[in-house]
C-alpha cells in the first residue's frame, strides 16, 4: 500500500513514510519527493511515486483493514514462553506487522563453480542447462510486475559469465524503463565492473550469501574460493550503496551450534538489510548427497534465535525452509505460517517460468518438482493467493519494512 511522505531526511536520500501512524524510513534514489507526496516502497526502498488520487483510492480500501490486521497480529503475538513465541512477540514489538513479498526469477542454471552442496555445480553433468534470453527475462519480469503485482524482484542464476555487464544491465534497464521496481541481483562473484554497470542501470539489491562464517568449512565446500573474498565483495557492495541480502546455509556438515551463532552475528555485522538463510537440502548428485539435513524444527528455532539476537532484523522465509517444511508437514501453507510465526517477516515467491524452474535444481523438492496445476498463470495466482491468505490470517500488512 502507498505511504505518505511526512519527512525528507539525510539530504534527500531517505524519506519517512507514514502508514496511518506507522512510520518507516525508506531510501529514495529515483524520485523527487516532498512532504505530502505518496509513494510505494518495497524492501526499504521507494519504487514508485503515486499520484494523490490513486493513493487516496488505495488508502480508502486499506484504512479499516489495516486496523483489523494489526489487532490479529497483536492477539497472535502475545508474550509467550517458547523460543518461537518469544521471537514472534519480539518481531511485533520491534518491526510491527509489516511484511514484504519478493518474487524471484531464475534466469540461468549454468554455473562455473563447484559448490559441494549445490545441484547446479559444474561437475553435475546430469542437469539439463538453460539460459533465458534477454527478451524472456524482461517478459517474465514484466508479467510478474504487471499481472501479478510484484514490486521487488530477484534475478538469480548460477555464476554464468555468458551474461556480461552489457547484457545484464540492458535487461535491468529494459525492466526499469517500463516499471520502476526494486531489482535485486543474485549472480554470485562476478567482476565488480558487472555490478557497477548493474547499479548504473538501476539495480539496487544484491543477494549474495556468505554461506558459512567458518573459513575452513567455506574452503572445503566452495573449492577454489575463500570466505575473505566473498566477504570483501559483500562489504564493497554495501559500501557502494547496494541493499544487501545475505546469510548462510544452515546445517552444512561440520558446522556447530557456535558456528550458527557466528553466522547470525556475521550477518548482522555486515549490515544486511535482509537476512536470508535456509537449511541444506541435500541434492542426490552432489558430494553432500548423504548429509543429514536440519529438521524444520531446527530451522524455525534458528529463525527465532536470529530474531531474539537482533530484534529489528528483516528475516526472510526462504524457499529451502519451505521445501523441507513442505516435505515434513505434507502441506504447502503451514511451513510459511510457522516461519512467520517464529520471527520471520518476509516471503519469497518463485516466479520462474515453469519450463525452466524444474531445471533450476539447486536442491530437490522445490514446488516446481511437485506441482500439478497445468495452467501457468493459475499456478502462480494460486501460489500468491496462498501466501496472501497466510499473511492475512497472521495479521501481517503490506506496509513497507523500512530501513534502519
User: Where along the sequence are the contacts to ligand SF4 (CB under 6 A)?
Assistant: 111, 113, 115, 118, 120-121, 158-159, 188, 362
Select from 110-118, 130-138, 175-183, 306-314 the region that touches ligand SAH (CB under 6 A): 110-118
Our CB check for ligand SF4 shows the closer of 115 and 144 to be: 115
Buried b (16+ CB within 10 A) or exposed e, 75-108: ebbeeeeebbbbbbbbbbeebbbbbbbbbbbbbb
The answer to whether 362 contacts ligand SAH (rule: CB under 6 A) is: yes
Residue placing its CB nearer to ligand SF4 in the complex, 120 or 291:
120
Among 109, 156, 212, 352, binds ligand SAH (CB under 6 A): 156
| Kind and range of the H or E run holding 57 | helix 52-76
Q: What is the DSSP letter of 11?
A: G
The distance between the two most distant Cα atoms of the chain, rounded to a whole number of Å, is: 58
Burial 186-213 (b: 16+ CB within 10 A, else e): bbbbbeeebbebbbebbbbbbbbbbbbb
263 binds ligand SAH (CB under 6 A): no
Q: Give the nearest distance from C-beta 228 to ligand SF4 in angstroms.
A: 17
> Cα dist. 377→144, 383, 389, 398 in Å?
10, 10, 18, 23
* DSSP label at residue 81: S
**Between 1 and 217, CB nearer to ligand SAH:** 217
| CA end-to-end span of the chain | 20
Q: How far apart are CA 124 and CA 109, in angstroms?
A: 11
Q: How far is the CB of 186 from ligand SAH (least distance, A)?
A: 5
Output the smallest distance, CB 376 to ligand SAH, in A: 23
Query: Measured from the CB atom, is 90 or 168 closer to ligand SF4?
Result: 168
Binding flag, residue 361, ligand SAH (CB under 6 A): no
Contact pattern from residue 298 through residue 337 relative to ligand SAH, giving x for each residue in contact according to CB under 6 A and a dash for the rest: ----------------------x-----------------
- Which of 114, 211, 263, 301 is the binder for ligand SAH (CB under 6 A)? 211
Which residue, among 249, 292, 290, has the nearest Cα to 267 in the 3D structure?
249
Comparison of 77 and 227: residue with beta carbon closer to ligand SF4 = 227
Question: From CA 113, how far away is CA 116, in angstroms rounded?
Answer: 9
The answer to whether 117 contacts ligand SAH (rule: CB under 6 A) is yes
Segments in 240-295 forming alpha helices (H): 257-269
| Minimum distance of ligand SAH from residue 39's CB (angstroms) | 30
Q: Which distant-in-sequence residues (6+ apart) come within 8 Å of 64 by Cβ?
A: none
Q: How far is the CB of 188 from ligand SAH (least distance, A)?
A: 4
Degrees (nearest 5) of the Cα angle 340, 370, 304?
Answer: 20
121 binds, among ligand SF4, ligand SAH, none (CB under 5 to 8 A by kind): ligand SF4
**Closer Cβ to ligand SF4, 19 or 117, answer by number:** 117
Binding site for ligand SAH (CB under 6 A): 111, 117-118, 156, 158-159, 186, 188, 208-209, 211, 249, 278, 280-281, 283, 320, 362-363
Amino acid at each position: 500500500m502507498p505511504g505518505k511522505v511526512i519527512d525528507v531526511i539525510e539530504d534527500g536520500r531517505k524519506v519517512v513514510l507514514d502508514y496511518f501512524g506507522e512510520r518507516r524510513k525508506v531510501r529514495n534514489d529515483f524520485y523527487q519527493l516532498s512532504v505530502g507526496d505518496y509513494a510505494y516502497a518495497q524492501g526499504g526502498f521507494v519504487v514508485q511515486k503515486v499520484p494523490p488520487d490513486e493513493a487516496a483510492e488505495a488508502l480508502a480500501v486499506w484504512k479499516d483493514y489495516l486496523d483489523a490486521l494489526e489487532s490479529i497480529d497483536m492477539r497472535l503475538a502475545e508474550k509467550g514462553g517458547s523460543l518461537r513465541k518469544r521471537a514472534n512477540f519480539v518481531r511485533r514489538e520491534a518491526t510491527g506487522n509489516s511484511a514484504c513479498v519478493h518474487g524471484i526469477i531464475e534466469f540461468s542454471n549454468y554455473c562455473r563453480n563447484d559448490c559441494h552442496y549445490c545441484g547446479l555445480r559444474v561437475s553435475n553433468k546430469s542437469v539439463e542447462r538453460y539460459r533465458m534470453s534477454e527478451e524472456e527475462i524482461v517478459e517474465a519480469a514484466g508479467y510478474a510486475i504487471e499481472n501479478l503485482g510484484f514490486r521487488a524482484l530477484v534475478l538469480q542464476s548460477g555464476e554464468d559469465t555468458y551474461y556480461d555487464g552489457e547484457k545484464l544491465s540492458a535487461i535491468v534497464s529494459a525492466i526499469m524503463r517500463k516499471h520502476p521496481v526494486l531489482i535485486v541481483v543474485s549472480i554470485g562473484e562476478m567482476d565488480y565492473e558487472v555490478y557497477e554497470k548493474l547499479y548504473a542501470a538501476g539495480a539496487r539489491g544484491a543477494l549474495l550469501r556468505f554461506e558459512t562464517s567458518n573459513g575452513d568449512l567455506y574452503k572445503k565446500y566452495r573449492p577454489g574460493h575463500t570466505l575473505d573474498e566473498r566477504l570483501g565483495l559483500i562489504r564493497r557492495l554495501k559500501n557502494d550503496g547496494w541493499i544487501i541480502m545475505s546469510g548462510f546455509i544452515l546445517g552444512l556438515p561440520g558446522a556447530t551450534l557456535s558456528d550458527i551463532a557466528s553466522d547470525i552475528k556475521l550477518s548482522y555485522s555486515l549490515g544486511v538489510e535482509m537476512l536470508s538463510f535456509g537449511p541444506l537440502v541435500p541434492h542426490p548428485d552432489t558430494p553432500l548427497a548423504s548429509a543429514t539435513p536440519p529438521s524444520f524444527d531446527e530451522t524455525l528455532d534458528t529463525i527465532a534465535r536470529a530474531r531474539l539476537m537482533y530484534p529489528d532484523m528483516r528475516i526472510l522465509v526462504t524457499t529451502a525452509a519451505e521445501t523441507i517444511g513442505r516435505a515434513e508437514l505434507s502441506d504447502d501453507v503451514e511451513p510459511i505460517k510457522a516461519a512467520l510465526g517464529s520471527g520471520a517477516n518476509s516471503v519469497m515467491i518463485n516466479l520462474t517460468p515453469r519450463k525452466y524452474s524444474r531445471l533450476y535444481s539447486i536442491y530437490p523438492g522445490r514446488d516446481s518438482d511437485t506441482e500439478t496445476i497445468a495452467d501457468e498463470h493459475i499456478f502462480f495466482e494460486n501460489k500468491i493467493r496462498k501466501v496472501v491468505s497466510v499473511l492475512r490470517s497472521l495479521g501481517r500488512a503490506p506496509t513497507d519494512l523500512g530501513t534502519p
